[in-house]
């Protein structure tokens, strides 16, 4: 399986501000020496030597992720503002010809997970087929409500692609094409949300965004540990610092330290920190990431758990 991230922010989109762009440029220039900018190769090497926040950005689009099986069949997870870029990209494939097919997993329907759907161009083309799958028995009505005229000038019915909706029970295993199977597990979040475990040929990717795990729940977490166990990739909600999570009980999100504890106990191979707080700039996210690495080293210095920070364009293959 391959997983690619198109939107990694939570709650609301947070595009990089003009002053932040200027700050990045000033920092890069202050670090550069004459030999760093002699030619294209030296510039490239110099930029690669900088911290992620100095030379790039984690991105400001809200939740959207794609998974591909070994034949390239597409699974879309949620539809935040990152969905727009995914739609533009796949228009160069069969979706631009009206012959595309994709499974579309909905974890829940808070705004930051559906904001991009009205701007997803492949939905306009007749012949494309999108199979919406969720543990919400009224998912179609929820999306139709998003498109009422007072909210958006085009109705959901106006999108000419074939749209089908399948309700599944929590824990029910379903086939997403010929190779991937998946099942869900409810997670704590205001209004409800569901995580999903995707499996292909003994490999597992778990998407567990918008999930609150706090100290109280950590005392009775065995069923979740079994669910997360031995995942090759665990995409996990780490919107808050640990201190913030103590102040925001029942807000529906977790911290990097809790995510790390869970990943270690479940023997996860790769933990992907996800659903970044919209108030965090790139430098703050760098610090959050470094703090997570230090926390892991404190409790499991010789372990094999790899921790990475999600950013737009990140691709992982398992």
| Domain segments of the chain as ranges | 2-14+54-317
Say what the pLDDT of residue 222 is: 83
Superfamily name with CATH number, domain 2-14+54-317: Ribonuclease Z/Hydroxyacylglutathione hydrolase-like (3.60.15.10)
Say what the pLDDT of residue 182 is: 98
Would you say 129 and 100 are in contact if contact means Cβ atoms under 8 Å apart? Answer: yes
Q: CA 188, 250, 244, 9 torsion: positive or negative?
A: positive
The tally of CA atoms less than 13 A away on the side-chain side of residue 7 is: 31
Say what the pLDDT of residue 246 is: 60
- Kindly state the tokens that stand for 278: 């919209």
| Average pLDDT, consecutive stretches of 10 residues, N- to C-terminus, the chain (318 residues) | 98 95 95 95 95 94 98 98 98 98 98 98 98 98 96 95 98 97 96 97 97 72 92 94 65 83 96 97 94 93 93 98
Helix (H) or strand (E) holding 289: helix 282-299
Phi first, then psi: what are they for 72, rounded to 5°? 90, 5
- Nearest-CA neighbor of 107 among 15, 211, 9? 211
Say what the pLDDT of residue 66 is: 98
The Cα–Cα gap between 67 and 186 comes to: 20
Say what the pLDDT of residue 209 is: 95
Strand 101-106 and strand 74-77: pairing? parallel
């Amino acid at each position: 399986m391959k997983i690619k991230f198109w939107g990694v922010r939570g709650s609301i989109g947070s595009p990089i501000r003009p002053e932040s762009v200027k700050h990045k440029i000033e920092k890069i220039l202050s670090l550069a020496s004459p030999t760093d900018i002699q030619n294209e190769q030296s510039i490239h090497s110099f930029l690669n030597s900088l911290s992620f926040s100095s030379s790039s950005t984690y991105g400001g689009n809200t939740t959207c992720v794609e998974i591909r099986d070994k034949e390239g069949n597409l699974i879309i997870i949620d539809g935040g503002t990152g969905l727009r870029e995914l739609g533009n990209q796949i228009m160069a494939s069969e979706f631009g010809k009206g012959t595309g097919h994709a499974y579309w997993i909905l974890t829940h329907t808070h705004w930051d997970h559906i904001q991009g759907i009205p701007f997803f161009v492949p939905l306009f083309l007749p012949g494309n087929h999108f199979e919406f799958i969720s543990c919400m028995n009224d998912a179609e009505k929820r999306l139709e409500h998003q498109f009422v005229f007072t909210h958006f000038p085009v109705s959901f019915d106006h999108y000419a692609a074939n749209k089908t909706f399948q309700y599944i029970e929590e824990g029910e295993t379903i086939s997403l094409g010929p190779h991937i199977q998946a099942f869900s597990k409810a997670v704590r979040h205001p209004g409800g949300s569901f995580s999903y475990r995707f499996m292909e040929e003994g490999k597992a990717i778990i998407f567990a965004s918008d999930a609150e795990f706090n100290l109280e729940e950590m005392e009775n977490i065995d069923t979740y540990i079994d669910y997360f166990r031995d995942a090759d990739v665990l995409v996990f909600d780490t919107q808050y610092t640990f201190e913030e999570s103590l102040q925001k009980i029942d807000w529906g999100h977790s911290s990097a330290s809790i995510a790390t504890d869970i990943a270690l106990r479940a023997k996860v191979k790769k933990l992907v920190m996800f659903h970044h707080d919209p108030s965090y700039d790139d430098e703050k996210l760098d610090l959050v990431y470094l703090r997570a690495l230090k926390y892991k080293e404190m409790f499991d210095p010789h372990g094999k758990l790899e921790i990475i920070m999600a950013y737009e364009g990140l691709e992982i293959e398992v």
